[in-house]
Structure 1
Amino acid sequence: MSTLFKRIDTVFLQVNDFDGTIKWYCDVLGFTLRWKDDKGGYAALNIGETALTLVRSKTEPPKNANISFNFYTADIESAQQLLLQNNVNVGSINEDGQVKWFKFQDIEGNELEVCYFKE
């Protein structure tokens, strides 16, 4: 472990519909709001030790072809089913050795990924 850095504090994701996207992440994914700055256009969502910070964008945010981060789950099949039940655009579960993963899109069309591996 680095003696200089303790952890990754947050991951930033640009969005257009600031309030709608906050609501979606809380209602659909079960995140909770850590703090929100309407004037600055930032909102941090709790998801464990590292927050997800949504940033209001004044222009169309780029849709990354490369996924910048994964959400980890202990039960990938249940995670996929819960997203499907909430009408989320979800891909198939893939497996490569010890790792399973699937992709999904948030309300803004950002492509995200969920992974599982034995800890």
Structure 2
Amino acid sequence: MGLFTRVDTIVVGVTDLDEATAWYKDILEFTVLYQTKEYVVLQVGEGQTPITIEEIDLAEVATTSTYPILYASEIDAVHKTLQERNVAVTPIENDGTNKFFNFRDPDGNKIEVCYFE
């Protein structure tokens, strides 16, 4: 066993916490697990690692290179649903092992969706 037990959360910086919370709930269907004035912890489906959104300066949002990759067993349906919700998604790519596509939240944070068997 290593030093750490698990990944606790992945933090995504946003410029307006209330607007971002509504977007992640309404568009991505995440569930709020815990909320303060500074951050919101969101449950992603049945996964064990939540995503935490916290309000930060716009300059910090633009410089981050960390991004979440969400697994979707029905990637084609998720891709279509996001398009219907006016989310600009990239075409689904297939590298021979994984199918994947990307999109950005309202603050420009990259989010990737993947599927593999």
TM-score (norm 2): 0.89
Q: Distance in 2 between matches of 1:4 and 1:24?
A: 35
TM-score (norm 1): 0.87
Q: Distance in 2 between matches of 1:42 and 1:65?
A: 17
Indicate the residue corresponding to 1:46 in structure 2: 43
Deviation per CA, 1:10-66: give whole Å up to 9, x if none: 00011101100000000000001011111xx11100112101000111443333574
- Alignment RMSD (CA, Å): 1.7
For 2:9, give the aligned amino acid.
T
Aligned length: 115
Indicate the residue corresponding to 1:5 in structure 2: 4
Deviation per CA, 1:70-95: give whole Å up to 9, x if none: 11110110110010010001110000
Partner of 1:98, secondary structure, is: coil
Indicate the residue corresponding to 1:96 in structure 2: 95
The answer for unaligned runs of 5 or more in structure 1 is none
Partner of 1:30, secondary structure, is: coil
Q: Distance in 2 between matches of 1:26 and 1:61?
A: 23
Q: Distance in 2 between matches of 1:111 and 1:68?
A: 6
Indicate the residue corresponding to 1:21 in structure 2: 20
The answer for unaligned runs of 5 or more in structure 2 is none
Distance 1:12 1:67, change over 3 A: closer
Partner of 1:43, secondary structure, is: strand
Distance 1:101 1:36, change over 3 A: same
Give the superposition deviation at 1:4: 4.3
The percentage of counterpart residues that share the same residue type is 34
Higher helix share goes to which structure?
2
Give the superposition deviation at 1:6: 3.0
The answer on whether the counterparts of 1:67 and 1:112 sit within 8 Å (CA) in structure 2 is: no
The answer on whether the counterparts of 1:16 and 1:60 sit within 8 Å (CA) in structure 2 is: no
